Amino acid sequence: MNRKNFRPQFFSLLFFVFSSFAQAQTPLLELNAGFYRIEVEVAADPQTRQRGLMHRRQMPANRGMLFIFTEAGKHCMWMRNTFIPLSVAFLDEDATIINIEDMRAQTDDNHCAARPARYALEMNLGWFSSKAIRAGTRIGGVEKAPRVR
């Protein structure tokens, strides 16, 4: 293999290893919505909130990502470089769902909280509706989340 062909392959491998390592380093937390157990990666710092679930090709059925914001606000989410369609639930300070939005993969459309939210919980598309979870449902376990950085 000549040096010219090696370089792109090396950087692709390096990106894959780094991405896998970054995913593995994201803290996990167990939440619940009624009797449904949810395992979430926690995005509590600017880097993990910005990266979110980008570049993922799949996510297990009861796995998601909890975004913790520094303060309650009308936060918005988008799907640039996110390959799996998702549903996002915006949660207030008490971890009660404000609203749920369905998001198409690889779009820049904004999906926003209907009123100030402190958290956002992303799950596979349709997860909330398939379990009849809607606005007003409290998500348990959020109080055990690490402090935002």
Task: For residue 131, tell me if it sits in a domain.
Answer: yes
Q: Which of 116, 121, 41 is nearest to 71 (CA)?
A: 116
Res 4: pLDDT:
53
Q: Residue 120's closest CA among 47, 64, 51?
A: 64
Condensed to tens digits (0 to 9), the pLDDT of residues 42-69 reads: 999 999 999 999 999 999 999 999 999 9
pLDDT value, residue 51: 93
Q: Is residue 140 part of a domain?
A: yes
Q: Number of folded domains in the chain?
A: 1
Domain-located, residue 50? yes
CATH number of the domain that residue 140 is part of: 2.60.120.1140
In angstroms, the CA 136 to CA 88 distance is: 14
| Confidence (pLDDT) at 13 | 40
Structural domain that includes position 68: 27-144
* Structural domain includes residue 3: no
d(C-alpha 74, C-alpha 81), whole Å:
22
Q: Does 60 fall in a domain?
A: yes
Over the stretch 102-139, which tens digit does the pLDDT of each residue have? Answer: 999 999 999 999 999 999 999 999 999 999 999 999 99
93 assigned to some structural domain: yes
Instruction: Please check whether residue 97 is in contact with residue 134, taking contact to mean a CB–CB distance below 8 angstroms.
Output: yes
The answer as to whether 20 is a domain residue is no
Q: Which range in 12-21, 45-54, 81-90 is most confidently predicted, on average pLDDT?
A: 81-90
pTM: 0.82
Structural domain contains residue 81: yes
Q: What is the pLDDT of residue 14?
A: 39
